[in-house]
Every structure is written in C-alpha cells, then in structure tokens.
Structure 1
Amino acid sequence: MESYFVRVDEKEFGPVSTAEIRNLVDKGSFTKDDLVWSEGMDEWVAAKNLAELNQIFNTEDNNHGPYKNKLFAFASGKGGVGKTVLTASIGVGLASMGSEVILVDGDLGGPDLHTCMGILEPEHTFFDFYSLQKDSLSEITLDTPIENLRLISGACGTLGLANPKYFQKKRFIRELKTLQADYIILDLGAGSSYNVLDFFLLADEKFIVTTPEPTSMYEAFGFIKICLMRALNRSLREHPKALEVLAKEESNRPGKIQLTIPDLLHKIEGVDPKAAVTSRNVVNSFRPKLILNMVKEKDDIKEGMAIQAAVMELLSVNVQYLGYIAYDASVRDSVRGLKPFLLHDPKSQASQDLSALIRVNLLGKKGFKEILKKRKWRKHLNTHATEYPDIDMLKDAPICSVNCFYWGDCEYQDGGNPCRVRHLEPVLKD
C-alpha cells in the first residue's frame, strides 16, 4: 500500500497511507498546499501536485457536504458593549476554520456591520429584498475580503418601517436557514424591542454580550427576563388565565420584579395546570449563552458567574457562561481602520481570548489532536490579516478650504487638510 511522508507547519511525520491522508483532510488538518515527499522528484512538493493525491482534494473542493445551517443570534441589553465588533470577528474566525459563514445585520435601527467589515457602500441591502427588487436572500449576499465569509447588509429603517408580523419573522428565519452556509450569524440591535426578542428566540443558539459594568450587567439580566417572558406569553396564547398572571408581573418592566420565575410558575399552576407544564418546558428549553466583553480586571471575570447564578436563582434559566474577552486598546484601532480586530492584530490579547472562546467553548474543540488544526488556523488568520485591504477613508475626502459652505462655522475646520466630516459621506448615505 502506498505511503507518504508529509510536512505540516515545518513538522514532518509519516509514513502515512492515502486513507490516513484523506482522514486528515476531512478533519481539516491537512490541505492541498501542505508538503509531501516525492521520491521521484527527490524533493518536497505540494500535495496537490501529486496525481495520486489530487482526487482527494478535488472531492474536497467540489463537494462541501451538507451544510450545518445553524443560526446564531447575538444580542445585548444595551449599546456600547462591543457586540457588533465582536460578532464580525467571530464570523472571521469561523470562516478561517473552513466553515461557510454568512453575517447578517439585524440591527433595524442603525445597521453598521458592513462598516466593521470595511464595506462602506453595500451593493445590495435588505431593502432590495423587502422591496422585491431581489427574489431571494441569496441574491443580496455580499462577498467580503475573507474567503468563505459573506454578508447580508441591513438598510436603515427598512424592517422597522415594515414592522413585520410574527409570521413574517418566522418566514425570514426559515429563509435564512435555506442559505448555503454552516453558520448564519445574526447581529441584532441593542435593547429589547419585539423584533430583537423574536429574532433572538427563533435562533438555534442565543448569545448575550455584556461588559462587567454594573449598568450592562443589569441590562443583560433584564434582557434575559424579558426574553423569557416574551417566550412564555407566546406559548400561553391558548391559556387566558395564565396570561393574566403574566400580565400582572409587568413583563416589559424588569426593574419591578415582584415574583421569581419559580413563584410565577407556581401561581400559573394554581389557575391552569396544563399551562404550568407548558411554561416549565419553555423555561427549561431557554438556554442562552453569555460572553463577557472588555474585561479589565481579573476580578471582573467573576461577574459572568455572578449573573449566571442570579439568573438561575431568580429566573430558573440555565445560562452558559462561554468566557470573556479582555479589554484591548487595539480593538479601538481596528474599528477606526474598518477591520475586524481578529485580523487587525491576531496576536493581541483580545484576539487570543476570542480564538480560544471560538475553538474551545463555542465549537468544543479540545485535546492533543486539535494542536495541528490550531496551528493551521493561526496560519490562515495571519494570511488573511496580511491580505485584508487597508481602507483610507480620507483618501478621497475634499480639502478643507474657504470654498466650503460651512467655512467659519465648522468646529472641525482645518484648512488645507482633508475634511474630517465629509469623508464619512459614504457611511452616512441612506
């Protein structure tokens, strides 16, 4: 049986059989650009250049296999926690591992995911889909500078003005899950509008991003409670007496909690035992995940466990604390450069924290056999970081001069230099 010596990331091992190489390819630990020793040529050559191995990679290239079609939704109780910036880098990380990923901007009030990806003027947006200019969501997906990563850009006011009904939201989610992708990542707006709550609850995996600041923690807890109450309300539409109990708890005002969820379920059981069974099923199936962002102190890490304990005690909801991302000044620089921070500086502390969170906590990849794949992933990230285009927003900006209508009245006036305001026109365009 034919066997080979191979080299991956400057490390050699072997002999390995063709079947073993195929297995490595399936696991993502060996690619067509990795090296194989050719006795005939007496040198190391790329595996794709050996005819006897080429069929393995042809199969890999032409048949992705069944897509996972998992829908991830990212939300936050309040703005300013870095959710969109984090979501963009999670998309980059998953795509760099070989998964097909689509980022979806679900912020109905002010979409900005496209700018995080360095796309100032999206060719297509949700508006094209909802105005029937495009027949399917696949027609409005945009390529990004990252292989395997696409984007569906939001359009300010489009969905908000349409005020979609619940069945329309379910249809939208169903259509999202027909797209050819392993992961569809929905970046929702901050706050707890019905649109945010419903899209969050309809996702396969639900992620809440917060910071260790007291106000953010409070809003994250409130968001979880409001989500749960929304889910209970929708599941108990055929149980009017149970709905009356919920109404008394002012489900849209988390600051005035009168009962814990266990007490609430007990009251529901007193008026409608069947509704109580349904309610318990809703509570038990609601399992959001928590990511703590912009952590500055070691003690702050415990805040994630604190909210996890509080949610379990008061709401009976099992929140999985995925981990934390350290505060890192380079993230701010990446935002200014319109580049995901995972690519702006792959070696930064925030990038390392996110890399570990994706591989270990999000995808559950651990153990010795993952070492090769981890090295390869880092290699891909470094390549993407090098090749990712730099965007100079000031390049085409007009020069500040007396010819400007606002000359003499503009607080940003800086004669002879690029205008610090009008370079934003591509971002602010409707």
Structure 2
Amino acid sequence: MAVTISMGSGKGGTGKTTLLCNLALLLAKKGKKVCLVDLDIGGADIHLLFGLFEPKHSLTDFLNRKVDSLTEVVHTFYSFYGLQIIPGTGSTLQTANMSFQEKQRLLRAISALDADVILMDVGAGTSYHALDFFMFSDIQLCVTMPEPTSIIDLYSFLQLATIRKVLGSFLTNSEVGHMLRKHTFSTLTEVFELAEKTQEGAKAKAQRSLHYFHPLLVINRDTPNARVNKTKLKQLVAKYLGIDIPQLGEIPEDAAIQDALRAYMPVCELSPEAPAAIAIIRIADKIEKLIGLFGDRSHNSTS
C-alpha cells in the first residue's frame, strides 16, 4: 500500500509546487516508485515544471469519464528516474463544483495507484476541496514564507483544517454530526462548544481526533533577516488549535530556484549544490525515514 503525502499552504506563491516536484524527484531517485498528483484545482501546473506542455490526458479526462481508469492519465518521466505524474485539471466549472461522490471516486482511484509513494499538491487556500485532499493523506506537509501575512494565512489554513478534521470524526447520521453540519464555524472553540452542548463528552472525542494530526512545517525562501517567530507560531497553534507542527526544514532564498524554473527542471537535478537544493535534499531524507516508519507499520499490521 502506498504512503500518501499531501502538501498545502495558506496562500499561493509560497513555492509549494516547486518543493513538491523536487521531493518527488528525489524520492524517485532513491529508487521508490513515486506518483505525483496535481490536485491544485484551477492552478494545475506541475507538468510545466517538468517541461511537459501538452499532456495527452489530464485529471479532467478521468473526472469527465473520458478515460476508464486514473492509470490512463499517468505520464512517466523516464529521464527523471521513472517519476510518474498525473497532470491537473486546470480551471473547469465541473471540477470546481465536484460533488462528494465524485471526490470519493477520485480519492479511491488515487489510493489504488500502483506506487510506493503518492504525493499530492492540494492547491493553496482553504476551499473544501483543498482541505479534504490535504486531510486525506498519511503525512501532511505545509509551507509558508517568513512574512507576517504568510504566517497568518498558514494559521487560518491550519485552523480550518482542524475544524474539517473534527467534523469528519463524527458520523453524518449521529446527533452531534448532524448538528455540527448545520453550522458554519470560524474557530475550533466554537466547534468544541456546540459539540459538548449537543452531547456530553463530544468535546473530548473531538479533541482526540486531533491527537495524531501533526502537519510538518517547511519555511521557504528563508533569509537571515526573516521576521517570522517560529516558536511563537508553534505556541499559537498549540494553544488555540491543540496540535503540534514539527518543523521539517528551512529553505533559503536562492536564485538557483528561478534558474531551474526557466530550465523546466527541478533545482535538485539542475543545481544539486545550490543552497536551496541542499536544504530540500535534507528534507527529502527526513521524509524517506517517515515513509519507512509507515512501511513498518503496514508490515506489522499484516504480520
């Protein structure tokens, strides 16, 4: 069974897609069978970063049932260690209004892909689609830049992700689940209060649903003069969201990234000695170890 990894961010322009493409390449280079799925609805461009301008098929063809299987949409880059990608949909009305049943069909198809690792670019922002794709995975990564506005957007993204996680912990036909789905929430505290008001003990259950939710944080385009207070961010998230966000790494501001984008190649392949590439390689090493832990878990559960 593949280990699934999703990557999200509170806003666009954080370098999320570039980072994900490099991580996918590095994991493929390590000998893993990797599939990179572009779920960035309305902003799908992963294929462009590898120099693929007109893919034969895209996710739209699967959603429109022009192809029978998601595997028909897969494009394999033999020049990039056999890395596979599923190009995204672009901006289509049907995709934006994807129904619950269509979303579940897509997620089942992603789970069934023949791969060791599946990486998903869920897009930036806080749409239901982005949040659901983000929460679907085994491992969640989130990216921000060291700017106050970017940090605020990340906090908002994580807040809505935790709310979505808690809501999903209650069955739709349960009393609490039915009540919660009738309301719109702006804070996690509001969810806890209404859950407990509806049924005694529901708040504790909601809090338990967040026990294993630990999105891994990457600071991108970091500089020596960065104003972000990483300790303060972790304290804020722990206090108001009840979760921990372990830091996976920091990627320095580096002109080599733009050079790689212009060359339609991941920076870790074009300029592996560049500071940004070295930082991403370190992050990939940590992720490989996490993937190994999930593999051990799966082996133990079937022993």
2: distance between equivalents of 1:305 and 1:284?
A: 20
Aligned to 2:296: none
- 5 Å-filtered alignment, 1:21-420, equals 68-144=1-77, 145-158=79-92, 160-161=94-95, 163-236=97-170, 237=172, 238-240=174-176, 243=179, 247=183, 251=185, 253=186, 257=187, 261=189, 265=192, 268-297=195-224, 303-359=229-285, 361-364=286-289
Asked whether the 8 Å contact 1:84–1:113 carries over to 2, the reply is yes
Task: Give the aligned residue type for 1:342.
Answer: C
Answer with 144-153 or 229-238: which moved more: 229-238
Query: What SS is found at the alignment partner of 2:210?
Result: helix
Query: 5+ unaligned residues in a row in structure 2: which ranges?
Result: 291-303
Shift of 1:266: 5.7
Asked whether the 8 Å contact 2:179–2:198 carries over to 1, the reply is no
2: distance between equivalents of 1:244 and 1:194?
A: 16
Asked whether the 8 Å contact 1:293–1:327 carries over to 2, the reply is yes
CA RMSD of aligned residues (A): 2.4
2: distance between equivalents of 1:160 and 1:317?
A: 34
Task: Give the aligned residue type for 1:320.
Answer: P
Runs of 4+, deviation exceeding 4 Å: none
Asked whether the 8 Å contact 1:210–1:220 carries over to 2, the reply is yes
Query: What SS is found at the alignment partner of 1:172?
Result: helix
2: distance between equivalents of 1:202 and 1:349?
A: 32
* Structure 1 residues 134-163: Cα deviation after superposition (integer angstroms, max 9, x where no partner): 111111100112123011001213475462
Asked whether the 8 Å contact 1:308–1:321 carries over to 2, the reply is no
Query: What SS is found at the alignment partner of 2:259?
Result: helix
Query: What SS is found at the alignment partner of 2:124?
Result: coil
Query: 5+ unaligned residues in a row in structure 1: which ranges?
Result: 1-67, 366-430
Answer with 227-236 or 101-110: which moved more: 227-236
Task: Give the aligned residue type for 1:114.
Answer: H
Answer with 313-322 or 84-93: which moved more: 313-322
Shift of 1:324: 1.0
Task: Give the aligned residue type for 2:100.
Answer: Y
Task: Give the aligned residue type for 1:182.
Answer: D
Q: 1:283 to 1:134 in 2, by over 3 A?
A: same
Query: What SS is found at the alignment partner of 1:294?
Result: strand
Name the count of aligned residue pairs: 287
2: distance between equivalents of 1:244 and 1:142?
A: 41
Task: Give the aligned residue type for 1:309.
Answer: Q
Task: Give the aligned residue type for 1:338.
Answer: Y
2: distance between equivalents of 1:187 and 1:117?
A: 15
Task: Give the aligned residue type for 2:255.
Answer: A
Q: 1:162 to 1:265 in 2, by over 3 A?
A: closer
TM-score, normalised relative to structure 1: 0.62
Shift of 1:128: 2.1
Query: What SS is found at the alignment partner of 1:155?
Result: coil
TM-score, normalised relative to structure 2: 0.86
Task: Give the aligned residue type for 1:97.
Answer: K
1: distance between equivalents of 2:4 and 2:132?
A: 13
1: distance between equivalents of 2:93 and 2:161?
A: 20
Shift of 1:299: 5.5
Shift of 1:287: 1.9
Shift of 1:246: 9.0
- CA radius of gyration, larger in: 1
2: distance between equivalents of 1:295 and 1:245?
A: 39
